[in-house]
Chain A
Amino acid sequence: MAKLANAGNEDAFAEIVRRYSPRVFHFASKFFRQRSLVEEAAQEVFLKAFTQLGSFEGRGSMEGWFTRITTNTCLNLLRSAKRRPEMTVSDLSEDESGWLESKYSGAAEEEFKSSERSKVAADLTERVLETMSPDDRLVLTLVDGEDAPVKEVAELTGWSESKVKVQAFRARKRMREAVEKLLGK
């Protein structure tokens, strides 16, 4: 199919988009929380993929190839976006403060399982992640969020495994510090 699409067969390329767009959307959703941004990133991924189809040699899976392009596209988009300034306690809504405080004090887990609570937590997390560097965000998302092995992250990003480990180590520390600041501890 890649060969057909590379030869200019539009139907073949449309089939590729149909087949791999759920994977690309799933992955891009981890980096962007607005649907429009996810769509923009996904479209860029497929346009890039079309121009690079000739370089896909069929050695690895096409899904892996798309994941790699998605990772790099999202990282580039994050790098070109303006970073949110550091957050403080005063930036939090009442719900967010409540969620953080109860989570920190170890209140019953069941209380936070409701979808509304999850949304509050996801909103807050997104805002905290937006204050972090794109590399920190990438590694936290892939390693801690998606439970991707270090080796896989190294292949996706082109970084060495040691760099992934060091980046993850530092990113966890910075995330913890950001949360600490929000809690005013």
Chain B
Amino acid sequence: MSEHIINILEGTRFASLSDNDHSRIRAHSATCEECARAYKLASVSASMLENRMVETFEPSPFFHTRVLAALREQQNEGPAFARLWRAAGALVSSMAAAVVLFAVLSFAVFDQTLPTDASLTTAYSPEAVILNDFDEEQTDGQVLSTLYAADE
């Protein structure tokens, strides 16, 4: 039995097969049912494509007008991000400004209301209270709490 011809069918465009190829294929197909079927199917496929390829459309006379209109529309619209920014830009900007404002205010108020560690460490020592060695006038409560804390 001669070599199977499937490779010829799959490796070459059917319409480009030479007369020699067709003779070889037919000779082999006479004794090989599988290749005979493949040859017929390849022929049908080629005929199908041929029928499909003859169909073609022509542009309508208004096609270029449509394209130009679409182009203008596209240019007016601009890129997607720009469109999104135009729609929501003001809202996003005001929200960002509000966040910054809240942050600034929070830190400013926090700084004013909480005592710093430095003010806590300059509390008066029992010796300073007894010897009355401090710059500012102290309340009785401050003096008492300093002395009793030292006792404990």
Contacts and interface: CB of A to CB of B under 8 A. Distances in A.
A159 B74 CA distance: 31
B48 A121 contact: yes
A103 B71 contact: no
Contacts, number: 121
A145 B42 contact: no
Contacts of A30: 52-53, 56
B148 interface: no
Interface string A36-52: 00110011001100100
A179 B64 CA distance: 40
Interface centre among A21, A24, A100 (most CB of B within 10 A): A21
Interface of A: 10, 13-14, 17-18, 21-22, 24-26, 28-30, 33, 35, 38-39, 42-43, 46-47, 50, 100, 103-104, 106, 112, 118, 121-122, 124-126, 128-129, 140-141, 143-147, 165, 168-170, 172-173, 175-176, 179-180, 183, 185
7 contacts: A42-B63, A103-B44, A121-B48, A122-B54, A122-B55, A144-B14, A170-B10
Interface of B: 9-11, 13-16, 37-38, 40-60, 63-64, 66-68, 70-71, 74
